[in-house]
């Protein structure tokens, strides 16, 4: 088989496929970090954080002490919302979940790929990194969180590691 003018057919095919793969991967990352989802309750972070003085870890258990922070469940919400405190339709919806004992079907907004090891404890407690560094100004939001305010990317992680003098050894995060 004779190569087309200007290149080797296997090499040209490989480069073309590699280019397509890069575009598909970039599109997937863009889609995962910019997609908009609908939450079951229009949760007002600003009310809870700025007006009532809640800390992120008051509702997102294990954000300081565990590998994974949790999305608030009916037990957490039920501590304050076992009965109506306001006439809010959203609070009424929350109380329905609490009274029925049904989990709130929150939609997860932030995540890392399965091959990446990430520990909230290692970053928030040991590393003294504020939640806003990775999650953005969630505490200022009146509307529910429907997309990542700060896209979680490898470049972002590497930049932070460089700024804080933390190792960028691949095997620390990639398993």
Give tens-digit pLDDT for 109-143: 999 999 999 999 999 998 999 999 999 999 999 99
Collapsing DSSP to helix, strand or coil, 123 comes out as helix
**Phi and psi at residue 116, to the nearest 5°:** -105, 130
In the structure encoding, which two tokens stand for residue 18, read together? 């590699």
CA distance 112 to 32: 10
Cα angle for residues 72, 75, 76 (degrees, 5° grid): 45
Distance between CA atoms of residues 81 and 45, nearest Å: 15
Instruction: Give the DSSP per-residue string, 43-100.
Output: --HHIIIIIT---HHHHSTTTTTSSS-----HHHHHTT-SS-SS--HHHHHHHHHHHH
How does pLDDT run across 25-72, given as a tens digit for each residue?
544 454 444 568 999 999 999 999 999 999 999 999 999 999 999 999
pTM metric for this prediction: 0.74
């Amino acid at each position: 088989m004779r190569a087309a003018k200007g290149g080797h057919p296997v090499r040209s095919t490989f480069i073309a496929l590699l280019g397509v793969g890069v575009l598909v991967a970039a599109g997937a990352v863009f889609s995962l970090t910019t997609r908009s989802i609908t939450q079951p309750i229009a949760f007002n972070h600003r009310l809870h954080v700025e007006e009532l003085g809640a800390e992120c870890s008051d509702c997102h258990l294990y954000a300081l002490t565990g590998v994974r922070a949790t999305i608030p469940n009916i037990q957490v919400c039920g501590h304050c919302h076992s009965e109506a405190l306001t006439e809010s339709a959203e609070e009424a919806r929350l109380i329905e979940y609490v009274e029925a004992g049904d989990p709130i079907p929150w939609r997860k907004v932030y995540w890392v790929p399965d091959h990446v090891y990430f520990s909230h404890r290692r970053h928030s407690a040991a590393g003294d990194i504020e939640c806003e560094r990775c999650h953005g100004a969630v505490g200022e939001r009146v509307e529910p969180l429907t997309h990542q305010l700060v896209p979680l990317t490898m470049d972002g992680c590497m930049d932070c590691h460089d700024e804080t003098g933390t190792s960028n050894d691949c095997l620390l995060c990639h398993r």
